Homo-oligomer: A and B are copies of this chain.
Amino acid sequence: MAVGQPNTAPLIPIDGVSIGVGCAGIKKPNRQDLVVFQLAPGSSVAGVFTTNAFCAAPVVVAREHLKQGDIRCLVINTGNANAGTGQQGLEDAHETCARLAALKRIEPEQVLPFSTGVIGEYLPMPAIAQALPNVVAAMSPNHWSDAANGILTTDTRAKGCSRQFEYQDETITVTGIAKGSGMIKPNMATMLGFVATNANVAPEILQQLLTAANERSFNRITVDGDTSTNDACILIATGQTEAPAITSADSDVYRHLLKTVSEVMLELAQAIVRDGEGATKFVEIAVEGAKTTEEALSVAYTIGHSPLVKTALTASDANWGRILAAVGRSGVAELDVDLVDIWLDEVQIVSNGERAPGYTEAAGSAVVAQEEITIRVHLNRGEVSDRIWTTDLSHDYVSINADYRS
Measured between C-beta atoms, what is the minimum distance from A206 to chain B in Å? 27
Name the interface size band of chain A. Answer: 35 or more
Q: Are B119 and A324 in contact (CB under 8 A)?
A: yes
Known contacts A308-B224, A314-B398, A315-B403: A118-B321 contact under CB 8 Å: yes
Within the complex, the shortest CB–CB distance from A305 to chain B, in Å, comes to: 7
Q: How far is the CA of A93 from the CA of B107 in the complex (A)?
A: 74
Which residue of chain B has its CB nearest to the CB of A333?
B53
Indicate whether A182 reaches chain B with its CB closer than 8 angstroms: yes
The answer, yes or no, to whether A9 is at the interface (CB within 8 Å) is no
**Bound CA–CA A118/B403 (angstroms):** 33
Chain A 298-309, CB-CB to B under 8 Å as 1, else 0, gives 000000011110
* CB-defined contacts of A185 to chain B, threshold 8 Å: 329
**Do the beta carbons of A321 and B52 come within 8 Å of each other?**
no
In the bound complex, how far is the Cα of B324 from the Cα of A227, in angstroms? 11
Number of this chain's copies in the complex: 2
Smallest CB gap from A352: residue in B: B86
Q: Which of B81, B314, B322, B327 contacts A119 (CB 8 A)?
A: B322
Q: Which of chain B's residues have a CB closer than 8 A to the CB of A353?
A: 54, 84, 86
Q: Which of A372-406 contact B (CB under 8 A)?
A: 393-395, 397-399, 401-403, 405-406
Whole-angstrom CA separation of A355 from B350 in the bound complex: 49
Question: Which of B308, B319, B401 is within 8 Å of A311, CB to CB?
Answer: B401
Taking CB atoms, residues of chain B closer than 8 Å to A52 are 325, 328-329
A321 touches B84 (CB 8 A): yes
B119 adjacent to A332 (CB under 8 Å): no
Q: A345 at interface (Cβ–Cβ under 8 A)?
A: no
**A335 contacts chain B at the CB level, 8 A cutoff:** yes
The residue of chain B having its C-beta at the shortest distance from the C-beta of A400 within the complex is: B311
| A320 is an interface residue with CB less than 8 A from chain B | yes
Q: Which of A55, A81, A228, A325 has the most CB of B within 10 A?
A: A325
Are A355 and B120 in contact, CB atoms less than 8 angstroms apart? yes
Tell me whether A397 and B314 are in contact (CB under 8 A): no
Chain B residues near A228 (CB, 8 Å)? 325
A312 is an interface residue with CB less than 8 A from chain B? yes
Is there contact, CB below 8 Å, between B355 and A308? no
The answer to whether the Cβ of A293 comes within 8 Å of any Cβ in the partner chain is no
Question: A183 an interface residue at 8 Å Cβ cutoff?
Answer: yes
In the complex, are the beta carbons of A305 and B225 less than 8 A apart? yes
Q: Is there an interface contact between A406 and B321, defined as CB atoms closer than 8 Å? A: yes
Say yes or no for A187: interface residue by CB 8 A criterion: yes
Contact A354 B86 (CB under 8 A): yes
Given the known inter-chain contacts A53-B332, A53-B335, please indicate yes or no for A226 contacting B398, CB distance below 8 A: no
Interface residues of A in 237-273 (CB under 8 A from B): none
Residues of B near A395 (CB, < 8 A) are 395, 398-399
Query: Which residue of B53, B89, B354, B405 contacts A84 across the interface (Cβ within 8 Å)?
Result: B354
Residues 91-139 (chain A) with a chain B CB within 8 angstroms:
118-120
Q: Which of B226, B327, B354, B402 contacts A325 (CB 8 A)?
A: B226
Besides the known contacts A53-B329, A119-B321, A311-B397, 14 further A-B residue pairs in the complex with CB atoms under 8 A apart: A53-B327, A81-B321, A84-B324, A84-B354, A85-B354, A86-B354, A224-B306, A226-B307, A227-B328, A229-B325, A307-B393, A307-B397, A311-B402, A315-B401
Decide yes or no whether A155 CB sits under 8 A from chain B: no
